[in-house]
Amino acid sequence: MKSPGLLLALPTALIVLLLGFVPLIVILVWSFWTWDPATYWIRPEFSLAGYEAILEAGRWSVIVGSLGKAFLTAAICVVIGYPAAMAVHFLASRRTALLLMALFTIPFFTSYMIRAFSWRLVLGRNGLINGWLMDLGIVDQPLDWLLFSNFAVNVGLVASYLPFVIFPLILSMQRVEPSLLAASQDLGAGFWRTFRSVLLPLTQAGIFAGFLFVFVMAAGSATEVQMLGGAAASMISVMINDVMRVVNFPLAFAISTLVLIILFGLIFIGNRLFKLTSLFEGFTW
């Protein structure tokens, strides 16, 4: 059965190779070439100038800051998404579960731009939240930090990417043997003990997969920070756009390469620690 399966997968694998792997190699190679400001183009001469420039103008701090924002977003998504996934898998009827899953996918029906923009209307000086807070007499003046701040960026990122953590979590929960949970309770463990000692360890691959999905997408996002961030707020993608605007290709590719190495490193380490591939164990061709 394996051969026909592999044959069927071959075209897809080739397309992934062509559209995914080849551009990555080009990015990697060009990041070490020399940029010629006289011609706006690059020469195939080895240079580390692109990587050196990452250390200038505080570019490295944008990378660190972006990864920090992405980490926080992914962590918040896991914390919010885990109970949501539990509700779908353990508590809801089949029909309610489908309804809940459909609700989680609603954000996908709108563009990132519209989603981020709508948060401006909610978090703004004259937005919904400030309106409620003032109506209730909780504050006298609108809270400025609700919008155009790191807080607003994180709200936008969590709202955009939350569904990406829920589905891997549901997948991992489906792979937990119900008898194990029943056995834990039969042996006298309460909800929290069962959760901590049985469910959490058995769903760690799903937690990491969800975390990774959100982390990667949040690290590569630009819309949320541009729409909701403070003055001239930056993310890796915004910085790459800035660099591309002055057509410094090797620098843009060096930033991309560095970020790719960090992300691949994270996947590698995470897989070693959390056995990401276990999510797909048991699937047959």
Partner 1 sequence: MMTNNMNSLNGAMASNISRRQLLKTLGAGGAALAGGSMFRPMSALAAGDLAFWATGTLDVGDAWSRAADDAGLNVAFTDNGNDPGPAVARLVAGNANDLFDIGGLQGGAEKELAVQGAIVPWDMSKIPNYENVWQWAKDIPYLQHDGKQYGLPAVINADSIIYRPDKLGKVDSYGVIFDPKLKGQVAMEDAWINSAVFAAMYLKESENQKIGNPGNLTEDELGLVMEFLIKHKKDGQFRTFWSGWEQGVQLVGDGEVLAMTGWEPIVYEGRKRGLQVEYAAPVEGYEGWGNNLVLLKGAVDRGLGDDAHKFANWLLDGFYGCALGEQRGYVVPSDRNVAYAEANASQFDPAKVKALAEHVKAKFSGKVAWQNTRPDNFQLYEEWWQKLRNA
Enumerate binding residues for partner 1 (CB under 8 A): 18, 26, 37, 39-45, 56-59, 61-62, 117, 120-121, 124-127, 144, 147-148, 226-227, 229-234, 238-239, 242-248
The least distance separating partner 1 from the CB of residue 169, rounded to whole angstroms, comes to 34
The least distance separating partner 1 from the CB of residue 64, rounded to whole angstroms, comes to 10
Give, as one character, the DSSP assignment of residue 43: E
The least distance separating partner 1 from the CB of residue 151, rounded to whole angstroms, comes to 14
Please compute, for residue 16, the number of CA atoms within 13 A of its CA located in the half-sphere on the CB side: 5
What angle (nearest 5°) sits at the alpha carbon of residue 179, between those of residues 174 and 185?
A: 110
Complex with partner 1: residue 54 or 176, whichever CB lies closer: 54
Complex with partner 1: residue 61 or 174, whichever CB lies closer: 61
Complex with partner 1: residue 62 or 162, whichever CB lies closer: 62
Complex with partner 1: residue 49 or 202, whichever CB lies closer: 49
**Number of other residues whose CB lies within 10 A of the CB of residue 141:** 9
By C-alpha distance, which of 69, 104, 115 is closest to 216? 69
The least distance separating partner 1 from the CB of residue 118, rounded to whole angstroms, comes to 11
Burial 174-205 (b: 16+ CB within 10 A, else e): eebeeeebeebeeeebeeeebbeebbeebbbb
The least distance separating partner 1 from the CB of residue 120, rounded to whole angstroms, comes to 6
Please enumerate in sequence order all residues whose Cβ is within 8 A of that of 10, keeping only pairs 6 or more positions apart, or say none. none
Complex with partner 1: residue 208 or 249, whichever CB lies closer: 249
Tell me the backbone φ, ψ of residue 283, rounded to 5 degrees: -70, 135
